[in-house]
Amino acid sequence: MLSSRIEHKWIESFVRTFTICKIEPGATVAIVSESTSRQQNVQLAELALLRMNARPFHLVLPSPPQSIDVPVRSSGASDALTGQAAALAAMKASTMVVDLTIEGLLHSREAQEVLAAGSRILYVSNEHPEILERLGPDPALKNTVARSVDRLRQAKTMRISSPTGTDLSVNVVDARIGGGWGAVDAPGQLGHWPGGLVAAYPMGGAVNGTVVLSPGDINLTFKRYLETPVVLTIETDQIVSVEGDGLDAQLMRSYFAAWNDDNAYYTSHLGWGVNPTARWDSMTMYDRGDHNGVEQRAFAGNFLFSTGANKHANRYTLGHFDIPMKNCTVLLDDSLVVREGVLQPEFV
C-alpha cells in the first residue's frame, strides 16, 4: 500500500513541473477536479502553486452519473464539464488549467474552447504521486516529441510488424498527429504528465492488416499484462475478428460486445512511446487503483495500438482499448522508427 500522506518531495515534484510550464508569481491557475478525483494530487497542485506565489483556485465538479452500465476507462474525454458554463468561463480566464479530472479533458469538447481563449491545459494523469515524481517532464523530451511529430506529419505510411505475426499498414496522409512531452509552456497548449507519446488519428479507411497481441503486451483498459495471444484482423479500420482461446481473448471479446456498438470495433489512435524513463515492467509494482497506465503508454519503443473513437474519422464511442505492444518494428515510409522494440537513435 502506497502512502496517501502529503510528502514534501511530492510538492517539490509538482513545483518542478509547474516551473517547466513557466508559471510565474501572480499567475491565476484553475485546479479542476471531480468529486472522485485523487485528493492527494489535488492538494499537491494547490500547495505547489502557493509555494510558487501563483494564485490557484479550485473548481470541483461532481463526477457525472454513468451514461452506460459498462465501466468506462481510458477515454481521455471527461464529461464532468458538460453544462458547466460558469466553470468553463473561469478556466478560460486562467493562465493555466491543471486538469485533475479522472479521464482528463484532452478529448473533451470544452478543451479546445479553453485553449482558444489563451489558456493552457496540463492533464495530471490519475497516478499515485510516486509515479509522477519518477516521471517528471524532461525538456529534452520536448525536442524528441516535436521531431517525431514532424516526421509523422511528413510520412505517408506507417507499417508495423512483429515476430509473432503482426503486419499492419496505416495510411497517415492527412492524419491528425499529436504528441505530449509532459508539460505545457505556452498559451494554447494541451499536454499530459507523464509525457512521451506520439500518436496519429488517421482519416477513415486507413488501417488494414493483422495485429497479434502477445504475452507481455498490455491491455491498459484492463490494466493487465497479456499472458495468451490474441489475433485481431483489421479491414478498412474495422476489427472483423478477435481470435484466441485464452483468457485475454475472452476478456477482449466480452468488453467489445458489452458496448453493443459497431463503432467500438474500429481502430483509434496509433503511435509509439519515446519516454526513456517510463518502464514496461512497473505496472507489476502498483495496485490497479494506484495508477492510470500512462507510463506504460509512454515507455520508449512500444507501439501503441488502440481501438475505439476516432473523431478525425467521424467515429464516436466510449469503448476504448489502449494496448502498448513490445518487440514491434515500426516504419515510417522507408525509415525505421522502432526495431524489434528498440527506438532508433534518430527518434530518441
Q: Whole-number minimum distance, CB 268 to Fe ion, in Å? A: 6
Query: What residues contact residue 140 under an 8 Å CB cut-off, 6+ apart?
Result: none
For position 267 contacting Fe ion by CB under 5 A, the verdict is no
Note whether 122 and 193 are within 8 A (CB).
Answer: yes
Q: Which of 202, 322, 327, 347 binds Fe ion (CB under 5 A)?
A: 322
Query: What's the distance, Cα to Cα, between the start and end of the chain in Å?
Result: 34
CA distance 104 to 294: 12
**Nearest residue to Fe ion on Cβ basis:** 322
Question: Which of 58-66, 120-128, 301-309, 324-332 is the region at the interface with Fe ion (rule: CB under 5 A)?
Answer: 301-309
DSSP H or E run through 170: strand 167-171
Q: In the range 165-224, which residues lie near Fe ion by CB under 5 A? A: none
Q: Kindly compute the dihedral angle of the four CA atoms of residues 278, 298, 192, 18, in this order, to the nearest 10 degrees.
A: 30
35 vs 314 by CB, closer to Fe ion: 314
Q: Is 56 exposed, middle or buried (0-12, 13-18, 19+ CB in 10 A)?
A: buried
Question: Which of 64-72, 108-116, 119-127, 319-327 is the region at the interface with Fe ion (rule: CB under 5 A)?
Answer: 319-327
For position 296 contacting Fe ion by CB under 5 A, the verdict is no
Give, in order, the Cα–Cα distances in Å from 28 to each of 33, 119, 183, 227, 301. Answer: 16, 10, 17, 48, 38
DSSP H or E run through 32: strand 28-34
For position 79 contacting Fe ion by CB under 5 A, the verdict is no
Question: Which of 56-64, 130-138, 248-256, 316-324 is the region at the interface with Fe ion (rule: CB under 5 A)?
Answer: 316-324
Q: How many C-beta atoms surround the C-beta of residue 39 within 10 A?
A: 13
3-state secondary structure of 209: strand
Q: Whole-number minimum distance, CB 74 to Fe ion, in Å? A: 5
Question: Which of 39-47, 91-99, 176-184, 314-322 is the region at the interface with Fe ion (rule: CB under 5 A)?
Answer: 314-322
14 vs 321 by CB, closer to Fe ion: 321
DSSP H or E run through 251: helix 247-258
For position 103 contacting Fe ion by CB under 5 A, the verdict is no
- Say how many residues touch Fe ion, by CB under 5 A: 2
Q: What angle do CA 292, 48, 98 make, to 5 degrees?
A: 50
For position 292 contacting Fe ion by CB under 5 A, the verdict is no
For position 306 contacting Fe ion by CB under 5 A, the verdict is yes
110 vs 322 by CB, closer to Fe ion: 322
CA distance 257 to 118: 41
The contact pattern for Fe ion, residues 130-159, with x = CB under 5 A and - = no contact, is ------------------------------
244 vs 319 by CB, closer to Fe ion: 319
Q: Whole-number minimum distance, CB 137 to Fe ion, in Å? A: 20
For position 34 contacting Fe ion by CB under 5 A, the verdict is no
103 vs 322 by CB, closer to Fe ion: 322
For position 317 contacting Fe ion by CB under 5 A, the verdict is no
Give the interface with Fe ion as residue ranges (CB under 5 A): 306, 322
